[in-house]
Amino acid sequence: MNRPAIPFLNLRAAHDPIRAELLQAIGEVIDSNAFAGGPYVAKFETEFAAFCGSSHCVASGNGTDALWLPLLALGVGPGDEVITVSHTFIASAEAISYCGAKPVFIDIDETTFTMDPAKLEAAITPRTKAIIPVHLYGQMADMDAILAIANRHGIPVIEDACQAHGATYKGRKAGTLGIAGAFSFYPGKNLGALGEAGGTTTNDPELARKMATLRDHGQRTKYFHSMVGWNARMDGIQAAALSIKLRTLAQGNQARRQHARLYSELLHCTSGVATPQVATYGNPVFHLYVIRVADRDGLLKTLGERGVHCGIHYPRPVHLQEAYAFLGYQPGSLPVTERVAREILSLPMFPELTPEQITVVVRELKALLATATPVAA
Ligand X SMILES: *Cc1c(COP(=O)(O)O)cnc(C)c1O
- Site residues (CB under 6 A) for ligand X? 62-64, 88-89, 91-92, 134, 160, 162-163, 184, 186, 198
With respect to ligand X, which residue has the nearer C-beta, 86 or 88? 88
Query: What distance in Å separates the CA atoms of residue 264 and residue 291, rounded to the nearest whole number?
Result: 9
Q: Residue 300's CB: how many other CB atoms inside 10 A?
A: 19
With respect to ligand X, which residue has the nearer C-beta, 161 or 208? 161
Contact 106, 132 (CB under 8 A): no
Contact 101, 81 (CB under 8 A): yes
Contact 57, 43 (CB under 8 A): no
**Least distance between ligand X and beta carbon 1 (Å):** 34
Report the residue number whose CB is nearest to ligand X: 63
**Least distance between ligand X and beta carbon 162 (Å):** 3
Query: What distance in Å separates the CA atoms of residue 345 and residue 23, rounded to the nearest whole number?
Result: 36
Phi-psi region of 5 (alpha: psi -120 to 50; beta: other; left: phi over 0): beta
**Least distance between ligand X and beta carbon 98 (Å):** 12
With respect to ligand X, which residue has the nearer C-beta, 92 or 213? 92
Nearest to 201 by CA among 187, 181, 186, 216: 181
Angstrom distances, CA of residue 123 to CA of 20, 84, 90:
51, 10, 20
**Least distance between ligand X and beta carbon 78 (Å):** 22
**Least distance between ligand X and beta carbon 302 (Å):** 27
With respect to ligand X, which residue has the nearer C-beta, 91 or 240? 91
With respect to ligand X, which residue has the nearer C-beta, 162 or 273? 162
With respect to ligand X, which residue has the nearer C-beta, 62 or 202? 62
Query: What distance in Å separates the CA atoms of residue 159 and residue 92, rounded to the nearest whole number?
Result: 10
> Which residues, in sequence order, are CB contacts of 45 under 8 Å at separation 6+?
56, 57, 58, 59, 199, 239
**Least distance between ligand X and beta carbon 184 (Å):** 3
**Least distance between ligand X and beta carbon 151 (Å):** 24
Contact 175, 183 (CB under 8 A): yes
With respect to ligand X, which residue has the nearer C-beta, 62 or 238? 62
**How remote is the C-alpha of 252 from its chain's centroid?**
16
Nearest to 66 by CA among 159, 189, 165, 178: 159
DSSP lists the bridge partners of residue 219 as 225
With respect to ligand X, which residue has the nearer C-beta, 142 or 160? 160
Runs of H (alpha helix) within 101-155: 143-153
Contact 129, 155 (CB under 8 A): yes
**Least distance between ligand X and beta carbon 14 (Å):** 17
With respect to ligand X, which residue has the nearer C-beta, 64 or 86? 64
With respect to ligand X, which residue has the nearer C-beta, 131 or 360? 131
3-state secondary structure at position 352: coil
Amino acid at 186: Y
**How remote is the C-alpha of 152 from its chain's centroid?**
27
**Least distance between ligand X and beta carbon 360 (Å):** 27
Convert 96-107 to b/e letters by CB count within 10 Å (16 or more is b). Answer: bbbbebbbbbbb
**Least distance between ligand X and beta carbon 26 (Å):** 20
